[in-house]
Amino acid sequence: GAVVSQHPSWVICKSGTSVKIECRSLDFQATTMFWYRQFPKQSLMLMATSNEGSKATYEQGVEKDKFLINHASLTLSTLTVTSAHPEDSSFYICSAPTSGKRETQYFGPGTRLLVL
Partner 1 sequence: QKEVEQDPGPLSVPEGAIVSLNCTYSNSAFQYFMWYRQYSRKGPELLMYTYSSGNKEDGRFTAQVDKSSKYISLFIRDSQPSDSATYLCAMAKNAGNMLTFGGGTRLMVKP
Binding residues vs partner 1 (CB under 8 A) = 1, 4, 6, 32, 34, 41-44, 46, 49, 91, 93, 95, 97, 101-110, 112
Q: How far is the CB of 82 from partner 1 (least distance, A)?
A: 23
Report d(CA 11, CA 44) in Å as an integer.
19
Measured from the CB atom, the residue of 32 and 89 that comes closer to partner 1 is: 32
By beta-carbon proximity to partner 1, the closer residue of 51 and 82 is 51
Distance CA 76, CA 29 (A): 9
CA 46 to chain CA centroid, nearest Å: 9
Residue type, 67: F
User: Cβ of 4: how many Cβ atoms within 10 Å?
Assistant: 25
CB of 103 to partner 1, least distance (A): 4
Nearer to partner 1, 16 or 111 (CB): 111
